[in-house]
Structure 1
Amino acid sequence: MNSHRKNELVRLLRLKPHPEGGFYRESYRSAEFILLP
């Protein structure tokens, strides 16, 4: 895959850069949370 195609897919899929490399898109986030002691 060339750089142009990669950039096109990132834009079309509305991906965000991942801090550890690559890209991602959040598809679900629970309304619940965990309290740590």
Structure 2
Amino acid sequence: MGLPSEDNIGVVFGYVLLLIILPVVSKFSGWSVKIRY
């Protein structure tokens, strides 16, 4: 029964990706706003 462990790893990996992607997206959005104005 290794499916639950694999699902947990996927959830943790997803949270890590969100923590890494959200700041990058916020920076890119800030840069885009600065470039637009």
The TM-score range, normalised by the shorter chain, is 0.3 to 0.5
Choose between structure 1 and 2: higher strand proportion.
1
Instruction: Please say which structure displays the higher CA radius of gyration.
Output: 2
Of structures 1 and 2, the one scoring higher in RCO (CA 8 A, sep 6+) is 1
Choose between structure 1 and 2: higher helix proportion.
2
